[in-house]
Structure 1
Amino acid sequence: MSRLPHPGAWALAGAAALTTSLVAGPASARTVEVPDGRDVPASADLTSATYRDGEARVEVTAQVRALRRSGRVVALVGAPDSDTVYSATVWPRPDGSVGTRLELVTDVSRSPRSCAVEAAWSVRTSTVEVSVPQSCLRFGRFLEQHYVQVRIAADGGRDSARGVDVGRGSSPGCATAGEIRGLRRGDTKAHVHALLDTAGRFGDGAAGGYSRIYRSCSGGRPWYVDYDGTTDRLEATGRVRGATTNV
């Protein structure tokens, strides 16, 4: 399965940098840990990677065999089955801080994005942590899962952990009763989808508004949310009447 060719210094000899075989995680996955084999040098040897696709942020933790205060780590977050990814690069600065840069990378371009990426580089624990707000990851639609991968380059060596699809939030693809109870009149549609971990599907339209239908995680009748047709803000919630199975 094709992945985005990574232009510039990250290009791997003999292959496109982001060409890989996708290994999808479970649809309900929220955190996925990926082990990685031994490589050299130790300062560029990923031993494992942990990917967490939360409701508010995508977080990547890279465990390195012998991390030093040099090199750079790149966390990739993309839409599954797509050649478009966000590339979050982090590196240690001489003053002890950590530099960050987020770029949108396609098969033909690379462009910077303004975003409050957070990062930590710990030689003591040999870990690098990267955290990207979901609000910075724009793919033209709400995604119930993201493709996530991490790479490192240091002391002339390179290594990359296996990339996987990680389900977003606590209940990707369906809404729980607790999540529905957490909604409030006036919530934006974007906030609703982030809290429910799904965009659902269009239900029907009405004078001045419309509804969307969300599969129930517990089975049975799905949930509906009525939205104002002008502001896309929540007006009411409830169970779909007459439906006995999930949609």
Structure 2
Amino acid sequence: MNGPIDLNADLGEGFGRWHLTDDDALLAYVTSANVACGFHAGDPATMRRVCEGAAAHGVRVGAQVSYRDLAGFGRRAMDVPAPELAAEVAYQIGALDIFARAAGIRVSYVKPHGALYHRAAQDPEQAAAVVAGVRLAGTPLPLLGLTGSALHAAAEDAGLPTVAEAFADRGYRPDGTLVPRGEPGAVLTEPGEVLKRAVGLARDGRLTAADGKPLRLRARSLCLHGDTPGAADLARRVREELAAAGVTVRAFS
């Protein structure tokens, strides 16, 4: 059996009066909160509220950095020059850190969102720009991402910690990459399937890929998407299933 597992989810994904994630409910079950920093979602008041809630629940907060794409929720492919991207990553980390410090906590890690997550996993130049942004922000924060990704390689080259994550509610290709959104099987919505995958990943480091074959995938953190309908209830059930399987759920940072 693997060691303790972290449970992370995307929070603060709203803007103004529009709210996509049930942050208060999710904070009762996750151990790490990937907080939107204003580029794909989120605004100052939302960031402040999530940080205060995370502090109250003992949940770690991470900066979920993104391409500047509010209209596309950060899921549209973009070409951003490396120096510009590094500056924008640092800007987002700094914005969240203001509200984390005000709540008596600190930003504990960085995780790219959406199109940036996928691009940085495969593109060494964009990965290096994300890492440069973390270094520019002034704190050697861990990078949360896919095992064997270009992002993790760039972070390790720069002397930054890395944390491998896996998705309990996303489909995987046989090579360990995620099935792109829009393709069949990209997002898993059947609770029983998500629960089975979460336990399999946490306990044995195994799942079934999109081609039906077993895939070995070690991870220290499991992600559940906060914008999935019923995400908070699913997070509760995942924690219960993990506990029943003898898996300790604990923040990695």
TM-score (normalizing by structure 1): 0.24
Bigger fraction of residues in strand: 1
TM-score (normalizing by structure 2): 0.24
Higher relative contact order (CA 8 A, sep 6+): 2
